[in-house]
Structure formats: C-alpha cells, structure tokens
Structure 1
Amino acid sequence: MAYDEHLAERIGQSLKSHKVSFEAKKMMGGLCYLVDGKMTVGIVKNQLMARIDPDTYQEALQRKGAKEMDFTGRPMKGYVFVSPEGMDLDEDLDYWVGLAVEFNPRAKASKKKS
C-alpha cells in the first residue's frame, strides 16, 4: 500500500463538500489532488499533505499533528504534513482541505515540462 486508501476516500468527499472540481493523480509515491491543475492536497503513506497560504503557515503548524513538509529533506514553505491524529475527525480533515482549497486560486501553477 503506497498510500492510505481510506484517507483518499475521505479527501474526495471533503473536496466534494467544498464544491470544487478536482483530479486525483498518482505522484511522488502517493496520491495528489489537483484543483485547477494545481496541487492542493495529497497523501504520502498515511499523512495528509496540504498546500496552504504561507501567511497562515506558522499558525497552522501549531495544530495537532501538523509539521513542516520535508519530503525532499528540507522544509517546503507553504506545504504541511498532517499525521493521522491531526485529521482523525472529519472536521479536522475538512479544516486542512478547506485551507488548501481557499489558497488554491492564489497558488502559482507549476511550470509545464516541455
């Protein structure tokens, strides 16, 4: 199991409740959800990855289960990992998905590889 499939179902439901169109893609050994072609949330093993507003980043890191995303060995600003205990309840997961969806319109899209 490369990623938590139950968490994938929960994220899909949360994104639907936020009334956004999304695409799920297998990436980075996990599953990423793209909104408007931009990575918004994802799953790496059993952790949630969320792309949030850098202005609310430090405050968000104070929540239970949240830590800097260090997928590459160094922290990525604006990205957080949330462990299972930080999103046990649906309202906790909805909080993180909501932060990511809210930031998405202002997030920069990745450059397309030629």
Structure 2
Amino acid sequence: MSFDEGLAETVRDDIGPLPGLTEKRMFGALCFLLDGNMICGVRADGGLYRVGKEAQAMATALDDVGPAIMGGRRMGGYIEAAPEAMADDATRARLTTLAIEFVRSLPPK
C-alpha cells in the first residue's frame, strides 16, 4: 500500500485534533477514523471520504469527485476525490466537513 505522506499530513491538519481520532491502514489507504468509524483515507491516487448516502450526490457534484468504486462495485456513502480535488483546499474542506458530520451520527465501534 502506498500513500502520499505529505497529503496525509494535510488531511491531518484538515481534520484537526478530535477526541477519538485514530489512523489505520485499510482499503489500500491510510484511513482516519473517529471512534472506530472511517472519516476518510489518503491513497497514492487521491482520497476516499465517507460522506454517507444522503450527502453523496452533494459531494459528487464537486469538481474532480466521483462515486467510490472498489472491486467493480459502487460503495454507497463513499466518494473518491481525484488528486486535483485533494489539492484544492475548499474541496477538501467541504468533503472533510461532510464526512465528519456523517461519522459523528454513527455509534462508536
């Protein structure tokens, strides 16, 4: 698994200090979890955010953001952010906000 450590540091800064925040390698990415639920992940080819099914259309309307496809299957509630989206501060901030809002609605694992 490979990911961009510089981008991982940027995402750490985007998320900020949250009680219950952890990092774990999964989905071919370095993932950031809140109370055991995935917020987002950083991969060599962009990012993966868990925004929830209700916010998925709003998130994929952003430039360079699309549905997450893994193993040929669309992952409901997850979106993929291309490197261009991950390089845009406003897009990353919006995705981070959507993901944290969704994950805070879930019970801790």
Q: Is the 8 A contact 2:66 2:81 kept in 1?
A: yes
Give the match's secondary structure for 2:15.
helix
Instruction: Output one character per residue of 1:73-94: Cα deviation in whole Å (capped at 9) or x when no partner.
Output: 1101100000011132222211
Q: Which amino acid aligns with 2:9?
A: E
TM-score (norm 2): 0.87
Instruction: Output one character per residue of 1:44-91: Cα deviation in whole Å (capped at 9) or x when no partner.
Output: 223110001311211221111111111221101100000011132222
Q: Is the 8 A contact 2:55 2:98 kept in 1?
A: no
Q: Is the 8 A contact 1:52 1:99 kept in 2?
A: yes
User: 1:83 maps to which residue?
Assistant: 82
Question: Which ranges in structure 1 are unaligned for 5 or more consecutive residues?
Answer: none
User: 1:10 maps to which residue?
Assistant: 10
Q: Is the 8 A contact 2:52 2:76 kept in 1?
A: no
Give the match's secondary structure for 1:64.
coil
TM-score (norm 1): 0.84
Q: Which amino acid aligns with 1:25?
A: K
Which has the larger strand fraction?
2
Please give the alpha-carbon distance, in whole angstroms, between the structure 2 residues aligned to 1:77 and 1:27: 17
Q: 1:14, CA displacement in angstroms?
A: 0.7
Q: How does 1:1-114 map to 2 (within 5 A)?
A: 2-16=2-16, 19-21=17-19, 22-107=21-106
Please give the alpha-carbon distance, in whole angstroms, between the structure 2 residues aligned to 1:8 and 1:109: 23
Please give the alpha-carbon distance, in whole angstroms, between the structure 1 residues aligned to 2:58 and 2:88: 20
Question: Which ranges in structure 2 are unaligned for 5 or more consecutive residues?
Answer: none
Please give the alpha-carbon distance, in whole angstroms, between the structure 1 residues aligned to 2:51 and 2:43: 16
